[in-house]
């Protein structure tokens, strides 16, 4: 005997956030040699009850998550990234280190964009404030904070997205 049983699909719980800047607007400046919280001020998609953003932090309800993240840097030779739990003061997911040999870090002239990626799984047991953080190594002879060190150069189209984070509750 065969039966055609239909099991309804569980709706996906997704939160897609990032930093979107207007036409011709750079991504901002950073300071080297410290973990800095990146700008996260835009919700692109929110299909997750209890999730939101506040003061560049992603607020997530308790649960298990898959995350993918990406951010851009201009004129940066060495950059690391991570997803950081500000509530429990711990690293949730370590990102991939970006190195751009042809970067003109701290100088003038041709600038190169480098990209950080992060993919991973984490669990939280309570509503948690999460930060996307980057760390830039200060190379000798380069200032620790200047307009030569930044979060990305504007594109000359309608807008630029400098940070992209996609969370899925599993």
Cα–Cα distance measured from residue 149 to residue 73, given in angstroms and rounded to the nearest whole number: 8
Encode 37-63: b = buried (16+ Cβ within 10 Å), e = exposed.
ebbbeeeeeeebeebebeebbbbbbeb
Q: What is the pLDDT along the chain (170 residues), one digit of tens a residue?
A: 556 777 667 789 999 998 877 666 666 666 777 898 888 888 999 999 999 999 999 999 999 999 999 887 665 557 788 999 999 999 999 987 665 555 444 444 445 566 778 999 999 999 999 999 988 776 555 555 544 445 555 555 555 667 889 999 99
Per-residue confidence (pLDDT) for residue 121, from 0 to 100: 98
**Extents of the domains making up the chain:** 13-169
Per-residue confidence (pLDDT) for residue 57, from 0 to 100: 96
The CATH architecture annotation of domain 13-169 reads Sandwich (2.60)
């Amino acid at each position: 005997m065969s039966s055609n049983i239909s099991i309804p699909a569980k709706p996906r719980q997704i939160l897609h956030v990032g930093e979107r800047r207007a036409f011709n607007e750079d991504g901002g400046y950073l300071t080297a040699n410290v973990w800095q919280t990146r700008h996260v001020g835009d919700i692109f998609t929110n299909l997750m009850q209890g999730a939101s953003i506040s003061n560049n932090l992603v607020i997530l309800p308790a649960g298990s998550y898959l995350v993918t993240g990406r951010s851009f840097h201009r004129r940066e030779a060495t950059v690391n990234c991570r997803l950081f739990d500000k509530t429990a003061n711990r690293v949730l997911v370590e990102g991939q280190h970006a190195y751009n040999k042809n970067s003109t870090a701290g100088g003038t002239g041709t600038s190169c964009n480098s990209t950080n990626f992060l993919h991973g799984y984490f669990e939280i047991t309570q509503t948690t404030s999460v930060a996307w953080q980057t760390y830039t190594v200060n190379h000798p002879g380069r200032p620790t904070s200047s307009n030569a060190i930044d979060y990305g150069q504007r594109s000359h189209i309608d807008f630029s997205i400098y940070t992209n984070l996609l969370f899925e509750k599993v």
